[in-house]
Amino acid sequence: MSKKNKIFIPCEEANHVCDKNQYKEASLLEMIKLNIHLIYCRVCRKYTANNTKLTKALKKSEVKHLDTSAKNNMKKDFDKALKELNN
């Protein structure tokens, strides 16, 4: 962080903190700054509300995916079968 520690942050940074917070990775200081920003910035308030909604929806849906290594393994096997078929 090269910037000085300001209490008032621009919208860009506020959005960034908000995104981080969706994954519980924002620090306490960042959260305080975000909340101060939200007091006077309507646009960011809306963004934050939407963002939280999105996180809740994703959690509620319990969408589950394959992890990358499993997918890669699957790809390997599949490619092998594909080659055999073509030969």
Partner 1 sequence: MSNHKIEPNQWIDLYSDYLFNYTISRVSDREKAQDLVQDTFLAGLKSMKNFKGEASERTWLISILKRKIIDHYRKSNSKKGKAEVRINYNDSESEGDWLEERVADPFDKTAQDSLENNELGDAIHKCLDKLPKKQAKVFKMKTILEYETEVICNDLNITASNLWVIIHRARTGMADCLKENWF
The least CB distance from residue 54 to partner 1, in Å, is 5
Residue 56 lies near partner 1 (rule: CB under 8 A): no
Q: Segment 16-55, which members bind partner 1 (CB under 8 A)?
A: 16, 19-20, 22-23, 25, 50-51, 53-55
The least CB distance from residue 10 to partner 1, in Å, is 14
The least CB distance from residue 32 to partner 1, in Å, is 19
What is each CA distance from 22 to 27, 28, 61, in whole angstroms? 12, 14, 16
The span from the CA of 81 to the CA of 78, in Å, is: 5
The span from the CA of 28 to the CA of 10, in Å, is: 18
What is each CA distance from 38 to 8, 16, 30, 60, in whole angstroms? 10, 13, 12, 26
Q: Which residues bind partner 1 (CB under 8 A)?
A: 15-16, 19-20, 22-23, 25, 50-51, 53-55, 57-58, 60-68, 70-71, 74-75, 77-78, 81-82, 85
